[in-house]
Amino acid sequence: MWGTIAPYIGSYYHHLDNSVYVSDFILVSLISYISETCFTMVACYLIRCMTPLKILITGVIISSAGLFGSSYITKPYLFMWVFGINLGALSSAIYLPSLWILWNEVPEHKARTSGIILGGYSFGPVPFNILFTMIANPYNYPAETIHKDGYEKEQIFGEYVSYRIPMTIRWMTVAIIIGSAIGILCLPKKWKNRVSTTSNRNPTISFCDMIKSKKAWNLFFMLFSGHSTVSYMYSVYKIIGIQYVGDDHFVSFTGSISFFTSCFGRIMYGLLFDKYYWKRIMVVTYILSIMFLIVFGLCADNRYLYSTCVIFISFLGTSVYNSILIQSDKDFPYDKWVLSYICLAFIPDYALPYVFEKWITPLIGYFACFCILSGLTIITIFQVIFHPDSSISKNTNQSTTDMLII
């Protein structure tokens, strides 16, 4: 979602302080995912003393209040931290508790239920992208071209659009609260304390053992290199679209369609991982991703190819986290806490778009950046191929009934 709203918020703060630009606000993605990682680890420990539903409700209330309050901040860097921290906290408060509740209700099909939850996670930005665009820029005013540091071009929206941003953030927060309330009402209220050998088993490895584990490190770097394409695309697709396509509403609807198709991608890959060998699925997926990356870098100025590439790269990217989630469960079936450390890969993963936009893209351009991402994806293919298989059958999911972090 941040990739969609960053140009609007960057424009607003540029009018307040002309020393900041849209590219500076890519930093919010990094802050939000550091926050999400940290609060995910907190949630994993809170599960010892709170039910997932209580964690979810508490997190939504606190983070929504923070998002609403951020709309009154006029200092750009303070806004980045407040908004980023609360956006990440909101995501972590909703995702894992919802997943735990669903796994607790339907323990037989973990990959499938994970795909459904991730599908909802991907669908979330669809209405919010449209809502934010329609409130902030109802008349589809084009962005204006300005020069950063005298030579680099950036796209900034005019004052009419920019000064509607605080109000838009407040309406977005209200929509988040309403959507979360509906979801909470639909969730099962009782937590089933199942007694099983899996849930009561003590950890089989220590923290030092995890540090020495080749499987854990390979999953960490696989998540970083495999997901880097998706994180970069989500962060800059709107910036690229405004610059090359020039139609704000078209670009926003493209983003919404990509998130909508990602919803089905999460579910589809969940079904595929339940049925087929994960390595074959991921190798084919990464090869297709490389193809679309190269086409995107060459044809970003063609609105139809731009739209097609954004949609398919987003769709294919839905497989990455789901594959890591399921494979870590097979590699460490009695040590769920390992996943929280593997997910620290999201921090450098979402730092990458900021580093690229701030220092690398102005020097080498977008096509070269997409070539670098293609190289990372090729490395990921080899990581997948040579990842050691767990002793658990490759076509069978663990019947673990919860995801308690010990």
Residue 108 has pLDDT above 50, yes or no: yes
Tokens of 275: 């049925």
Poorest-confidence range of 16-20, 245-249, 391-395? 391-395
Residue 400 has pLDDT above 90, yes or no: no
- pLDDT band, residue 99 (cuts 50/70/90): confident
**In whole numbers, what is the pLDDT of the chain averaged over residues?**
87
Structure confidence at residue 202 (pLDDT): 64
Structure confidence at residue 47 (pLDDT): 79
- Over residues 46-55, mean pLDDT: 86
Structure confidence at residue 399 (pLDDT): 38
Cα(114)–Cα(267) distance, rounded to whole angstroms? 8
Residue 367 has pLDDT above 80, yes or no: yes
Please enumerate in sequence order all residues whose Cβ is within 8 A of that of 100, keeping only pairs 6 or more positions apart, or say none: 47, 52, 402, 403
- Over residues 150-175, mean pLDDT: 89
Structure confidence at residue 310 (pLDDT): 95
Report residue 244 CA to chain centroid gap: 24
Domains in the chain: ranges and CATH:
2-191+206-385 (1.20.1250.20)
Which amino acid belongs to residue 284?
Answer: V
Residue carrying structure tokens 């990458």: 352
Dihedral sign for Cα 156, 160, 164, 166, please. Answer: positive
Checking 11-18 for CB contacts under 8 A at 24+ apart, the result is: 11/143, 11/156, 11/157, 11/158, 11/161, 11/162, 11/165, 12/162, 12/163, 12/165, 12/166, 13/76, 13/79, 14/156, 14/162, 15/156, 15/159, 15/162, 15/163, 16/74, 16/76, 17/76
Cα(70)–Cα(72) distance, rounded to whole angstroms? 5
- Over residues 97-101, mean pLDDT: 86
Q: What percent of the chain has pLDDT over 90?
A: 55
Structure confidence at residue 150 (pLDDT): 57
- Over residues 140-149, mean pLDDT: 84
Q: What is the 3-state secondary structure (H, E, C) of the chain?
A: CHHHHHHHHHHHHHHHCCCCCHHHHHHHHHHHHHHHHHHHHHHHHHCCCCCHHHHHHHHHHHHHHHHHHHCCCCCHHHHHHHHHHHHHHHHHHHHHHHHHHHHHHCCCCHHHHHHHHHHHHHHCHHHHHHHHHHHHCCCCCCCEEEEECCCEEEEECCHHHHCCHHHHHHHHHHHHHHHHHHHHHHCCCCCCCCCCCCCCCCCCCCHHHHHHCHHHHHHHHHHHHHHHHHHHHHHHHHHHHHHHCCCHHHHHHHHHHHHHHHHHHHHHHHHHHHHCCHHHHHHHHHHHHHHHHHHHHHCCCCHHHHHHHHHHHHHHHHHHHHHHHHHHHHHCCCCCHHHHHHHHHHHHHHHHHHHHHHHHHHHHHHHHHHHHHHHHHHHHHHHHHCCCCCCCCCCCCCCCCCCCCC
Poorest-confidence range of 139-153, 252-266, 303-317, 365-379? 139-153
Residue 75 has pLDDT above 60, yes or no: yes
Structure confidence at residue 2 (pLDDT): 81
Structure confidence at residue 193 (pLDDT): 66
- Over residues 348-369, mean pLDDT: 91
Residue 268 has pLDDT above 80, yes or no: yes
Tokens of 182: 């509906």
Residue 42 has pLDDT above 80, yes or no: yes
Tokens of 211: 């540090």
Structure confidence at residue 17 (pLDDT): 93
Structure confidence at residue 194 (pLDDT): 55
- Over residues 29-53, mean pLDDT: 86
Best mean pLDDT range from 18-27, 120-129, 290-299, 332-341: 290-299
Residue 265 has pLDDT above 50, yes or no: yes
Higher-pLDDT residue of 191, 41: 41
- Over residues 97-115, mean pLDDT: 78
Structure confidence at residue 149 (pLDDT): 64
From the CB of residue 276, how many other CB atoms can be counted at a distance below 10 Å? 12
* Cα-based distances in Å from 169 to 65, 163, 179: 12, 11, 15
Residue 356 has pLDDT above 60, yes or no: yes
* Cα-based distances in Å from 17 to 12, 30, 238, 249, 401: 9, 22, 22, 26, 52
Which amino acid belongs to residue 187?
Answer: L
- pLDDT band, residue 395 (cuts 50/70/90): very low
Convert the pLDDT of each residue in 269-279 to its tens digit. Answer: 888 988 899 99
Structure confidence at residue 57 (pLDDT): 95
- pLDDT band, residue 403 (cuts 50/70/90): very low
Convert the pLDDT of each residue in 76-85 to its tens digit. Answer: 999 999 999 9
Structure confidence at residue 406 (pLDDT): 32
Are 111 and 323 in contact by the 8 Å Cβ rule? The answer is no
Dihedral sign for Cα 228, 277, 332, 191, please. Answer: positive
